[in-house]
Structure 1
């Protein structure tokens, strides 16, 4: 059964009617193909209309859709001979961060990403994509491996934010995130980062400090969640919609501001409606990004990466 968002009610009604007609057709001799085709076209037009004018708050809902492809889906579809690596060699294993080595479209690379999980059990196991310090230190270990073996680094970002628990803070959450950023910015190998769902706060930027920062069309990327922002500014979560507007967290806004380098288009209706097509588009964008960085030496990569982040936010503010 499909999971419909609040603003997709009109589409849900049409698609439910289509399913009823198909069921009726299979149980009788009535030919209703013409009516089904008419309703399908109407549903497609309605979906196109809705997704062409999504508000920032609605984009937050799409980015968090439970059926949206997650890191493991991308790895499974795009990466051959993937070898997962576990543990930070300091404290323990954090399943919120998934990483390892593999061949992405024939090219050896190191991959790191946040995994949210797809059902109750896996979401709990992966802590809903919210990493603890040991997760970020595992990411550092993989970054160092990419540097040692001269392999490009690909990161897939999808997290509400770093885990804010007492234990995580006691084990150095802020330092672990800062160290990830410092290490990423100093790598001598190409770094491609893709925001595939939520890009929340420092938990996201820990894995999004690269040469190319790409972002799916209906993903979000912000310093704080709209709910968190509303609770601080208005002492209530009721103003989450207003907070989403003010945060400029959509891919379109962030591309204008120069925070991201490329917007990756999603199929009509969002990534959750056409998972294979979306994953293929992300794979192509990563491949193209790596090709653009081919031939650049370590000093050039580091300088351009540094200049990119120093210049961030200086355009599109008018």
Structure 2
């Protein structure tokens, strides 16, 4: 019922109803109806500028030269709305949504932070994190265990691997989002095939098919970019990164038994670079997650007089006082996968 009301409020220009649904009922803005249309498309089509602006400011998708962006632009009732769309076209909807977890993952790749491997692709340096690549992609996990073992600089010379396609692939691995020029589609598919990512190949093909079909129906429209984003109910990214939290748990606290984890035993090489000692238990973790997700841990870990201990795993060790293992475990899971289980009825 709420979904139906969302579409109707955008068609009618009922801004107050729209705000109520988005802010109070938390209805997702980027839903699609059976005609593959979004609330933003209907608001543009019906000429409701204030509704269009509200949707854009709250994360409605309208990237330049993509299927959704061009469809809204083509269907806009007047130039005032078209100009408004263009002013938002270069801003990522994911940034606008204020989703701190996805913004954190995006910044990891774009800005770099505690990276431990650098790829050299035709002279271009692309820093990355072995723990994330291994957790999200079987090809990288196997390569880091074998032919790239202990290497921090990896030179890729294959003539069919181009820097822009490689960056797009890493963008997908880190964020579940991929944006690339239509001319690079085959380059991205080739890399996805090499890296054993069949779902990505399927998504690229579906996005390209949708774009081509729309261009045929609307002469004069030229969509230059392919955009793939995770669906709102997809938990694949959180599940994959949550594996790192599973592995960070001390063996004596883990609820898993040998052979029960959803990955090969060799995956135990998960590249930790910080050990937190809590109540005598050692959690092997990654600075990139703790520094990137928490200002407290960032200040703690970059402090110049930090702990000088070294754990049994030969990584720096820091002892945390006045915190229980149970609480730290939940904090750790939240940092890695943006969710945790909290007991609201603790035992007294």
TM (norm. structure 1) is 0.32
Q: Which has the higher contact order (CA 8 A, sep 6+)?
A: 1
